Amino acid sequence: MLTDVSYFQARLGAVFSVAGAPPELGLALVLAEVEPSGNPQAFALTFQGPPAPELEQQTVELLRDGDAPLAIFLVPVARTAAGVQYHAVFNN
């Protein structure tokens, strides 16, 4: 199941591109953290993005070779020296 924590745990460190973003922007998000809970369908994800451009809070379609597109609601939560961190919460 796509929204099961094990799907994302297996992709920790994977790079996802944002659908519709021009390639010259280099807008790639790295799955930096998977925070499981006691329920395999309730978990949180942290993605690390570049310093610019910064995505606004919105639903984006993430693409990765070999996987189906993922529509995920991302919220920018922190700006670090590495770039912008985004958070997604699943609570099925």
pLDDT of residue 1: 46
SS3 label, residue 40: coil
At 52-69, the pLDDT tens digits run 889 999 999 999 998 999
Is the preceding omega at residue 53 within 30 degrees of 0, hence cis? yes
Amino acid at 83: G
At 7-36, the pLDDT tens digits run 999 999 999 999 988 777 778 999 999 999
pTM over 0.95, yes/no: no
